[in-house]
């Protein structure tokens, strides 16, 4: 018989609806049962693309002895972390504080009043080496709950106090300073793997927030090692097995130092942020390799994660069931059989494919092992011929791969991650001039507005015609950011007006008027107040909220918004000083706050501004506001901001007003003049 997850929308929860464990969704019904039956809660948190979540479901929770122990002695609750990130935030922090590390599947035991007292990640059913079995854990906790409950209550109270302190921030009395940028840079340099890029040895995660910081640090201070760290990381990732060389896109992380063997799940947020990172690297270097990787990543998002309704799906699993990675793996015989002896041999050498296999059992993850130049020399071919062979072979291999059973797609649509994708598509259009990217950005934004924004409330998740869960700070802040990106790409006032609505909602719902900073959620399920500014694989909601206020203050000419931003910086300042590398995206906002800001105001009729915009969008210039004012939008924009007042076309065509801190220079009316001005910024 199905359990209570059967009525849920999350693919992850529905996958567990036939489990012998009587799972409940997170909610009052489960909490009430725990209190009435006087039982502790077993909380299991994961997500659809999580491979080890699948393993624990099959090996542990499908075990009859495990299921009977849970059903008799606990109230089991299953949570999709992507639907309830605030729940995941609290309990993964607890496990991290208790054990020093945490991840998914997350397994946490709670008192009926939701206070955690024990937890870990993956548990096999029975002890395996140093890993305790869940049967053993369940029996010990059951016995302690019945016979020594005060021990559990004491631990849960101490844990709750620790969690409160972890999220407790008091505004600093220091003065904000750009000196912290140098400290963060030195920290990244100390973590950097000069041999293979990245900022750890293994496992290795793409960290776009580090790369965004390094790009701005290089642009600001012209320290060559900053851009070297980023480019080496981006290059090795793109050559490695973490990159899908056939279809495009990046897997979640590398299990080794070399970016060779990935953990094969693919996430929307990773690829949206990495597309931006590669586009920024291209603007800084004009390296076509970086441009090509960005194009493949954006195109993969469109081809494999696009919803027919307009949004983007969440993720693609690592494999089907237990079968991790086999969709992406190849044997040498596979490749030679498809491509023939000669071409197959070239492609195998190019991608490091061997009979033994780099993954084991004769299976290989494709990674670029040999350069086209070295293969051209070995096989007496031109470099162009080798590149053509690889390109043609990729198409054959991809067509063959598509005959295999594809891993499951988590087809729910998340506001926050879609917002990151919209921003990436906007930048893709600006830099690459591909109309498909802008069309997809507008379509996804309209989808969120029409399906997930109701009566001033932004909802978090959509699936199967159902939008649910009040948005967190991350949803509101990320969506506001992509609305500003859309406005600065299309110059349609509708996007700016909607961003203004979101600004008010963010301040009213999440801003801590007493201490500064923004709470993660409006409603709280416990007395732990969630407020955090740390940037991980994804920038924090606070970093985005602060950045949005700074951008909007420039557009609206409203310095009051900068006061909220400043107070929010000071909320996190003492923590930032302790470990600035944990706040790299917030530091990019600090750079925007302290450094000179530029406004580029284009006044034109029809499409006269397009050539000027193409020049601007071909340069890496952070901390800027871009406005296009024409006959169609001028009246509405003038009602919103005084920034375009008295700015008119001079001499016909288009005029570009460049302002710093609301003081404008004489307009530039020629493309050469505008190009030379931007060139002077580059060499400054």
Look over the chain and give the mean of its residue pLDDT values, rounded to a whole number. Answer: 94
User: pTM score, two decimals?
Assistant: 0.95
Residues 455 and 602 in one domain: no
pLDDT, one tens digit per residue, over 39-56 is 999 999 999 999 999 999
pLDDT tops 80 at residue 523: no
Tokens of 315: 């993720």
Residue 98: which residues within 8 A CB-CB, separation 6 or more? 118, 119, 159
pLDDT tier for residue 338 given thresholds of 50, 70 and 90: very high
Tokens of 268: 């929307």
pLDDT, one tens digit per residue, over 557-597 is 888 999 999 999 999 999 999 999 999 999 999 999 999 88
Residue 249 maps to a domain: no
pLDDT, one tens digit per residue, over 418-453 is 999 999 999 999 999 999 999 999 999 999 999 999
Residues 394 and 361 in one domain: yes
pLDDT tier for residue 663 given thresholds of 50, 70 and 90: confident
pLDDT tier for residue 524 given thresholds of 50, 70 and 90: low
Q: Domain boundary residue among 371, 404, 437?
A: 404
pLDDT tops 70 at residue 684: no
DSSP class of residue 462 equals: E
Measure the CA–CA gap between 478 and 104, rounded to whole angstroms. Answer: 24
Measure the CA–CA gap between 456 and 440, rounded to whole angstroms. Answer: 24
pLDDT number for residue 526:
61
Residues 420 and 554 in one domain: yes
Residue 253 bridge partners (DSSP): 263
What CATH number does the domain containing 123 carry?
A: 3.40.30.10
Residues 154 and 68 in one domain: yes
One DSSP character per residue, 137-181 reads HHHHHHHHHHH-HHHHHHHHHHHHHHHHHHT------SPP-THHH
Measure the CA–CA gap between 653 and 614, rounded to whole angstroms. Answer: 16
What CATH number does the domain containing 490 carry?
A: 1.50.10.20
Measure the CA–CA gap between 348 and 333, rounded to whole angstroms. Answer: 10
Tokens of 444: 């996804």
Domain span at residue 371 reads 328-404
Residue 650 maps to a domain: yes
Question: Does residue 214 sit in helix, strand or coil?
Answer: helix
Structural domains counted in the chain: 4
| Mean pLDDT of all residues in 151-180 | 92
pLDDT number for residue 296:
98
Residues 610 and 633 in one domain: yes
- Calculate helix-pair angle for 541-556, 584-594, nearest 10 degrees: 20
pLDDT tops 80 at residue 528: no
- Calculate helix-pair angle for 268-285, 288-304, nearest 10 degrees: 160
Where b means 16+ CB within 10 Å and e means fewer, 451-487 reads bbbeeeebbbbbbeeebebebbbbbbbbbbbbbbbbb
Give 499-559 as a 3 state SS string: HHHHHHHHHHHHECCCCCCECCCCCCCCCCCCCCCCCCCCCCHHHHHHHHHHHHHHHHCCC
Q: Is residue 644 within 8 Å of 634, Cβ to Cβ?
A: yes
pLDDT tops 70 at residue 253: yes
Of 325-334, 525-534, 583-592, give the lowest mean pLDDT range.
525-534
Measure the CA–CA gap between 155 and 160, rounded to whole angstroms. Answer: 9
| Mean pLDDT of all residues in 94-117 | 94
Measure the CA–CA gap between 45 and 627, rounded to whole angstroms. Answer: 44
pLDDT tier for residue 683 given thresholds of 50, 70 and 90: low
Of 19-23, 130-134, 344-348, 503-507, give the lowest mean pLDDT range.
130-134
630 vs 198 pLDDT, higher one: 198
CA dihedral 485, 490, 491, 493 (to 10 degrees): -90
Q: Is residue 95 within 8 Å of 108, Cβ to Cβ?
A: yes
What CATH number does the domain containing 625 carry?
A: 3.40.30
pLDDT tops 70 at residue 525: no
In the chain, count H helices and then E strands: 26, 20
Residues 400 and 358 in one domain: yes
Residue 443 maps to a domain: yes
Residue 219 maps to a domain: no
Residue 358: which residues within 8 A CB-CB, separation 6 or more? 241, 260, 261, 352, 364, 365, 367
pLDDT tops 80 at residue 517: yes
Residues 193 and 303 in one domain: yes
| Mean pLDDT of all residues in 653-674 | 88
Residue 139 maps to a domain: yes
pLDDT number for residue 374:
96
Residues 48 and 62 in one domain: yes
pLDDT tops 80 at residue 232: yes
Q: Is residue 240 within 8 Å of 295, Cβ to Cβ?
A: no
Residues 589 and 603 in one domain: no
Maximum separation of any 2 CA atoms in the chain, in Å: 88
pLDDT tier for residue 621 given thresholds of 50, 70 and 90: very high
Where b means 16+ CB within 10 Å and e means fewer, 308-325 reads eebbbbbbbbbbeeebbb
pLDDT, one tens digit per residue, over 368-379 is 999 999 999 999
Residue 578: which residues within 8 A CB-CB, separation 6 or more? none
Q: What percent of the chain has pLDDT over 90?
A: 87
| Mean pLDDT of all residues in 528-537 | 88
Residues 374 and 516 in one domain: no
Backbone angles phi, psi at 495, to 5 degrees: -70, -40
Measure the CA–CA gap between 321 and 511, rounded to whole angstroms. Answer: 43
pLDDT tier for residue 607 given thresholds of 50, 70 and 90: low
DSSP class of residue 237 equals: H
Residue 443: which residues within 8 A CB-CB, separation 6 or more? 310
Q: Is residue 62 within 8 Å of 127, Cβ to Cβ?
A: no
pLDDT tops 80 at residue 652: no
Residues 424 and 551 in one domain: yes
Q: Is residue 24 within 8 Å of 4, Cβ to Cβ?
A: yes
Residue 320 maps to a domain: no
């Amino acid at each position: 018989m199905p359990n209570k997850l059967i009525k849920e929308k999350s693919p992850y929860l529905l996958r567990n609806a036939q489990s012998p464990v009587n799972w409940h969704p997170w909610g009052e019904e489960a909490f009430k049962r725990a209190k009435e039956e006087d039982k502790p809660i077993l909380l299991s948190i994961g997500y659809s693309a999580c491979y080890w979540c699948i393993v624990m479901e099959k090996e542990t929770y499908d075990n009859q002895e495990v299921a009977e122990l849970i059903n008799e002695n606990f109230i089991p609750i299953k949570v999709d972390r992507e639907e309830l990130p605030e729940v995941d935030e609290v309990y993964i922090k607890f496990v991290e504080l208790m054990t020093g590390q945490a991840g998914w599947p997350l397994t946490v035991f709670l008192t009926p009043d939701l206070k955690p007292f024990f937890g870990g990640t993956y548990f096999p059913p029975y002890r395996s080496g140093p890993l305790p079995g869940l049967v053993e854990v369940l029996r010990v906790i059951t016995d302690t709950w019945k016979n020594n409950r005060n021990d559990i209550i004491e631990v849960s109270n101490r844990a709750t106090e620790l969690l409160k302190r972890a999220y407790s921030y008091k505004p600093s009395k220091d003065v904000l300073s750009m000196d912290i940028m140098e400290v963060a840079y030195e920290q990244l340099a100390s973590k950097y793997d000069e041999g293979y890029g990245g900022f750890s040895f293994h496992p290795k995660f793409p960290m776009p927030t580090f790369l965004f910081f390094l790009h701005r640090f290089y642009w600001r201070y012209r320290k060559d090692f900053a851009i070297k760290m980023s480019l080496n990381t981006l290059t090795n990732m793109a050559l490695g097995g973490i990159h899908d060389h056939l279809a495009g896109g990046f897997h979640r992380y590398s299990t080794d130092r070399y970016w060779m063997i990935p953990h094969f799940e693919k996430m929307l947020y990773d690829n949206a942020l990495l597309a931006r990172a590669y586009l920024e690297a291209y603007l800084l270097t004009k390296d076509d390799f970086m441009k090509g990787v960005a194009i493949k990543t954006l195109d993969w998002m469109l081809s494999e994660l696009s919803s027919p309704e307009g949004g983007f799906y969440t993720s693609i699993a690592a494999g089907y069931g237990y079968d991790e990675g086999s969709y992406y793996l190849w044997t040498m015989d596979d490749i030679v059989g498809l491509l023939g002896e000669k071409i197959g041999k070239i492609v195998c050498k190019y991608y490091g494919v061997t009979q033994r296999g780099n993954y084991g059992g004769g299976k290989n993850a494709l990674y670029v092992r040999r350069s086209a130049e070295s293969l051209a020399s070995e096989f007496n071919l031109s470099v162009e011929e080798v590149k053509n062979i690889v390109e043609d072979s990729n198409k054959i291999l991809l067509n063959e791969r598509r005959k295999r059973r594809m891993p499951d797609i988590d087809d729910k649509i998340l506001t926050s991650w879609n917002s990151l994708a919209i921003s990436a598509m906007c930048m893709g259009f600006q830099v690459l001039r591909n109309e498909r990217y802008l069309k997809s950005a507008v379509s996804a934004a309209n989808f969120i507005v029409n399906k997930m924004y109701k009566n001033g409330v932004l909802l978090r998740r959509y699936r199967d015609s159902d939008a649910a869960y009040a948005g967190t700070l991350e949803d509101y802040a990320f969506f506001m950011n992509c609305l500003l990106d859309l406005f600065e790409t299309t110059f349609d006032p509708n996007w700016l007006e909607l961003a203004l609505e979101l600004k008010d909602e963010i301040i009213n719902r999440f801003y801590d008027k007493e201490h500064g900073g923004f709470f993660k959620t409006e409603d709280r399920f416990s007395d732990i107040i969630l407020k955090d500014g740390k940037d991980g694989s994804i920038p924090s909601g606070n970093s985005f909220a602060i950045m949005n206020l700074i951008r909007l203050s420039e557009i609206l000419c409203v310095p009051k918004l900068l006061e909220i931003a400043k107070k929010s910086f000071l909320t996190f300042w003492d923590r930032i000083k302790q470990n600035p590398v944990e706040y790299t995206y917030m530091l990019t906002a600090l750079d925007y706050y302290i450094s000179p800001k530029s406004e580029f105001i284009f006044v034109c009729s029809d499409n006269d501004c397009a050539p000027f915009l193409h020049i601007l969008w071909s340069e890496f210039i952070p901390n800027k506001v871009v406005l296009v004012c024409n006959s169609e939008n001028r009246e509405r924009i003038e009602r919103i901001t005084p920034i375009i007042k008295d700015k008119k076309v001079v001499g016909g065509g288009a005029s570009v007003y460049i302002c710093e801190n609301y003081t404008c220079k004489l307009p530039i009316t020629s493309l050469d003049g505008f190009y030379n001005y931007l060139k002077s910024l580059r060499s400054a």
